[in-house]
Amino acid sequence: MDERPPWSRRRRRTLIGLAGGAVVLGVGGLMLPDEYGITSAFLAALCAFLLIVATVVFLAIPGPDTLHTLLRTSPVAGAVLVVAVLLMLSNTGSLRWLWLAAAAVAAAWTAFAVWETRREGG
């Protein structure tokens, strides 16, 4: 059985920071006045979501060089492209430019991931 390398200090700090942010902002959401409490609760939910995502990524990519591995993963890039294009097509409001930019970045990421995978032969 493969022995997984221990997590780096940076990974542990990221997870601890996100967990701490979720707890502190969640408590702040209960203690602060209405408008600040709702904002704090939303930020706590965002921290909790990012904590889950980071944990999944860190478990899926055990070794160093996580960013480069994610950049070369064409299925993830393709999924991000599909979601960005769907959001762009469904939005006719003032944020359409944001989804257009996200779709363009996702298209570039997908092209890079496919090119990098083909270049390496894997």
- pTM score, two decimals? 0.68
Rounded distance between C-alpha atoms, residue 56 and residue 70, angstroms: 12
Residue ranges of the domains in the chain? 1-63, 65-122
Residue 51 neighbours by CB distance under 10 Å: 19
Residue pair 46/18 in contact (Cβ under 8 Å)? The answer is: no
Helix (H, G, I), strand (E, B) or coil at 113: helix
What is the residue-level pLDDT of the chain in tens, covering all 122 positions? Answer: 567 777 788 889 999 999 999 999 999 888 888 888 889 999 999 999 999 999 988 888 877 778 888 888 889 899 999 999 999 999 888 888 899 999 999 999 999 999 988 887 65
Q: How far apart are CA 1 and CA 12, in angstroms?
A: 24
